[in-house]
């Protein structure tokens, strides 16, 4: 790794464009505005402090998300989710939804339902879906942001989607005023 | 490849992570398999729905400003650093200029004092009942007369062919230092020539070149460890002419 160091001006230039997305991500993780702000604040403070050790050529966005996520995991509300993440190998047995594409033709009008379902997902499913779908990160980037191997990214994504589909099916089955 | 085998790859396909060779094979398969095509479409639609639903929360303007401020704090400190880089030399220059100005003013005051003293010596000589200690128009008489009276010797110019006449000389003092005071005449005007040792501290403070003050003209220069001053009420051109003769004498 080259011992190149970026100036702090560059940090601002790199980090501020990520601000909206990082906040959105933090808000989804914490499910609370004040906690999300604290988390983003902490992320920027830590990142600025650690920026001199940030290596050029490393994915800056993934690095920022990793800081945010590690900060979240060590926070009060984050600690509650740790169990779920450690429990990954003993995934809850999902109801196999089967290929029912018709039921999944989710319209824009169902946005609130999807948001509700996302909020109900375990944090480690929610975050990987957000990174993949909202941030449009590659598997490689997600692996860096979550500090997990690419293989785990794929399997966790697959499980996250299955869980989400199950949740959505339950909601749609329950009608517009569903569960 | 059977549909079951493809099922596992549909997520990768939708995520754009499938190797190009596999992707084209899957494309070919989906043209003939409506189940797989529909499944892939559903996955893409789910992705879109999550993308739309996930983009949900907007930070407040106040919070944005707070973070932007904390992130910009470092560059601002850097700006302060640059300010110092500019300010420290600027202050140094200011200090130097103040000191230099003080020095120049002090020098000017000393020069003014020296000039006044020389003018006084000249006027004192003019007003004196016995202006000369040695009266002679002959430089070969005047110069030896100073031997033993002043701690240095000097050369005097040949005046033949010039309008100047040597009248005589006397011992004088400037800032407690003995020197030669020679009196020349030009059209009834008397001109004083002062010669002192160049100590660099006393009369040497007077700037070289000509000065005009109190209707006296004066010219001063350094030469061979001596300091010369020519003072008189004649025009600057005449002062300069006599100065030139004296310079050529040594």
Nearest to A17 by CA among A121, A164, A135: A135
Mind giving me the DSSP string for A100-134?
A: -GGGG---GGGHHHHHHHHHHS-HHHHHHHIIIII
| Residue B132 token pair | 């000369």
A100 & A122 share domain: yes
CATH number for position A108: 1.10.10.10
Give me the mean pLDDT over the A48-77 stretch.
87
The overall average pLDDT reported for chain B is 82
pLDDT digits 0-9 by tens, A153-178: 999 999 999 999 999 888 877 655 43
Which of A76, A104, A121 is the last residue in one of the domains? A76
Residue A148 has a pLDDT of: 94
Q: How many other C-beta atoms lie within 10 A of the C-beta of residue A77? A: 15
Q: How many other C-beta atoms lie within 10 A of the C-beta of residue B79? A: 12
Helices A60-73 and A8-15: angle between axes, nearest 10 degrees: 80
Give me the mean pLDDT over the A23-40 stretch.
95
Residue in A23, A44, A133 nearest the CB of B54: A133
A102 & A143 share domain: yes
B15 close contact with A: CB closer than 8 A: yes
Residue of A104, A123, A171 to mutate, testing the B interface (most B Cβ within 10 Å of its Cβ): A104
Single pTM value for the model = 0.54
Please give the biggest Cα pair distance in chain A.
58
Q: Specify the DSSP element, H or E, that contains B171.
A: strand B165-174
pLDDT digits 0-9 by tens, A128-152: 999 999 999 999 999 999 999 999 9
A93 & A168 share domain: yes
pLDDT digits 0-9 by tens, B54-76: 999 999 999 999 999 888 754 44
- Compute the CA torsion angle A166, A167, A168, A174 (nearest 10 deg): 110
Residue of A107, A134, A155 to mutate, testing the B interface (most B Cβ within 10 Å of its Cβ): A134
Q: Is residue A32 part of a domain?
A: yes
CB pair distance less than 8 Å for A165 and B11? no
What are φ and ψ of residue B195, in 5° steps?
Answer: -130, 125
Q: Is residue A46 part of a domain?
A: yes
A68 & A108 share domain: no
Interface of B with A in 30-89 (CB under 8 A): 35, 38-39, 41-43, 45-59, 63-64, 66-68, 70-72, 74-75, 78
Measured in residues, chain B has a length of 250
CATH number for position A9: 1.10.1740.10
Q: Is residue A81 part of a domain?
A: no
| Residue A61 token pair | 């966005």
CB B236 within 8 A of CB B230: no
Interface of B with A in 156-195 (CB under 8 A): none
A104 & A160 share domain: yes
Residue in B48, B57, B67 nearest the CB of A24: B57
CA angle A110, A116, A119 (to 5 degrees): 140
CB pair distance less than 8 Å for A165 and B53? no
Bridging pattern class, strands B189-197 and B226-232: antiparallel
Q: Is residue A177 part of a domain?
A: no
Is A16 a residue whose pLDDT tops 90?
yes
Q: Is residue A113 part of a domain?
A: yes
Give me the mean pLDDT over the B84-101 stretch.
84
Residue A27 lies in domain: 2-76
A35 & A96 share domain: no
Q: Is residue A39 part of a domain?
A: yes
CB pair distance less than 8 Å for B49 and A24? no
Q: Is residue A82 part of a domain?
A: no
A66 & A97 share domain: no
| Least confident range of A11-25, B31-45, B63-77, B178-192 | B63-77
- The winner for highest mean pLDDT among A5-9, B33-37, B219-223, B237-241 is B33-37
Give me the mean pLDDT over the A50-67 stretch.
87
Residues A150, A155: Cα–Cα separation, whole Å: 9
Residues B65, B118: Cα–Cα separation, whole Å: 74
Residues B184, B195: Cα–Cα separation, whole Å: 13
Residue in B50, B63, B72 nearest the CB of A37: B63
B170 CA to centre of own chain: 45
A43 & A91 share domain: no
Residue B110 has a pLDDT of: 76
CB pair distance less than 8 Å for B67 and A111? no
A66 & A94 share domain: no
A92 & A160 share domain: yes
Residue B13 has a pLDDT of: 92
Q: What percent of chain B has pLDDT over 70?
A: 89
Number of structural domains, chain A? 2
Residue A92 has a pLDDT of: 46
Give me the mean pLDDT over the A46-74 stretch.
89
Give me the mean pLDDT over the B214-230 stretch.
82
10 Å CB burial of residue B95 (0-12, 13-18, 19+) is: exposed
pLDDT digits 0-9 by tens, B106-162: 877 777 777 788 888 888 888 877 778 888 878 888 888 888 888 888 888 887 778
A63 & A130 share domain: no
What are φ and ψ of residue B98, in 5° steps?
Answer: -65, -45
- For chain B, the helix, strand and coil percentages under 3-state DSSP, each to the nearest 5: 55, 20, 25
Residue B246 has a pLDDT of: 84
For B124, B190, B194, B229, the CA distances from B127, given in Å and listed in that order, are 5, 11, 17, 19
CA nearest to A36 within chain B: B59
**A105/A148: higher pLDDT:** A148
Residues A172, A179: Cα–Cα separation, whole Å: 9
pLDDT band, very low/low/confident/very high, at A90 (cuts 50, 70, 90)? very low
Residue B156 has a pLDDT of: 83
Residue A178 has a pLDDT of: 39
A70 & A7 share domain: yes
| Least confident range of A129-133, B24-28, B47-51, B233-237 | B233-237
Residue B163 has a pLDDT of: 83
Q: How many CA atoms lie within 13 A of A167 on its CB side?
A: 20
Residue A175 has a pLDDT of: 56
B140 close contact with A: CB closer than 8 A: no
pLDDT band, very low/low/confident/very high, at A95 (cuts 50, 70, 90)? very low
Which of A76, A101, A120 is the last residue in one of the domains? A76
**B58/B250: higher pLDDT:** B58
Is A77 a residue whose pLDDT tops 80?
no
Which of A43, A76, A109 is the last residue in one of the domains? A76
SS3 B219: strand
- In the numeric block, the tokens 């992570």 are attached to B17
SS3 B129: coil
Question: Which DSSP category does B217 fall into?
Answer: E
A39 close contact with B: CB closer than 8 A: no
Mind giving me the DSSP string for A48-117?
A: HHHGGGPPBTB-HHHHHHHHHHHHHHTSHHHHHHHHHHHGGGGPPPPP---S-GGGG---GGGHHHHHHH
* ipTM entry: 0.82
Q: Is residue A8 part of a domain?
A: yes
Residue B75 has a pLDDT of: 46
SS3 B225: coil
């Amino acid at each position: 790794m080259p011992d190149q160091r970026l100036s702090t001006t560059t940090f601002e230039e790199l980090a501020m464009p990520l601000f909206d997305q990082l906040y959105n991500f933090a808000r989804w993780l914490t499910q609370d505005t004040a906690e999300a702000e604290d988390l983003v604040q902490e992320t920027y403070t830590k990142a600025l402090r650690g920026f001199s050790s940030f290596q050029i050529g490393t994915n800056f966005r993934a690095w920022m998300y990793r800081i945010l996520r590690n900060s979240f995991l060590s926070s009060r509300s984050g600690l509650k989710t740790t169990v779920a993440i450690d429990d990954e190998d003993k995934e809850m047995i999902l109801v196999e939804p089967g290929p029912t594409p018709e039921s999944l033709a989710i319209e824009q009008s169902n946005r609130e339902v999807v948001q509700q379902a996302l909020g109900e997902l375990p944090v480690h499913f929610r975050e990987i879906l957000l990174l993949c779908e909202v941030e449009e990160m590659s598997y490689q980037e997600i692996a860096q942001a979550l500090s997990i191997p690419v293989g785990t990214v794929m399997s966790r994504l697959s499980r996250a989607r299955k869980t989400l589909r199950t949740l959505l099916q339950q909601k749609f089955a329950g009608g517009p005023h569903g569960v | 490849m059977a549909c079951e085998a493809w099922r596992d790859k549909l997520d990768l396909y939708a995520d754009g992570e499938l190797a190009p060779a596999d992707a084209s094979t899957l494309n070919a398969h989906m043209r003939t398999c409506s189940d797989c095509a529909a499944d892939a479409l559903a996955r893409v639609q789910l992705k879109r729905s999550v993308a739309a639903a996930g983009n949900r929360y907007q930070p407040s303007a106040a919070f944005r400003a707070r973070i932007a401020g904390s992130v910009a704090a470092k560059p601002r400190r850097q700006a302060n650093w640059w300010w110092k880089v500019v300010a420290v030399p600027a202050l140094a220059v200011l200090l130097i200029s103040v000191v230099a100005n003080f020095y120049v003013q002090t020098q000017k005051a000393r020069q003014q004092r020296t000039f006044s003293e020389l003018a006084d010596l000249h006027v004192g000589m003019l007003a004196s009942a016995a202006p000369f200690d040695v009266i002679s128009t002959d430089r070969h008489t005047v110069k030896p007369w100073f031997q033993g009276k002043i701690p240095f010797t000097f050369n005097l110019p040949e005046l033949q062919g010039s309008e100047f006449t040597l009248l005589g000389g006397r011992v004088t003092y400037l800032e407690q230092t003995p020197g030669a005071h020679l009196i020349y005449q030009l059209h009834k005007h008397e001109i004083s020539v002062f010669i002192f040792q160049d100590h660099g501290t006393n009369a040497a403070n007077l700037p070289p070149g000509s000065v005009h003050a109190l209707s006296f003209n004066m010219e001063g220069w350094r030469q061979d460890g001596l300091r010369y001053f020519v003072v008189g009420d004649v025009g600057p051109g005449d002062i300069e002419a006599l100065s030139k003769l004296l310079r050529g004498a040594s």
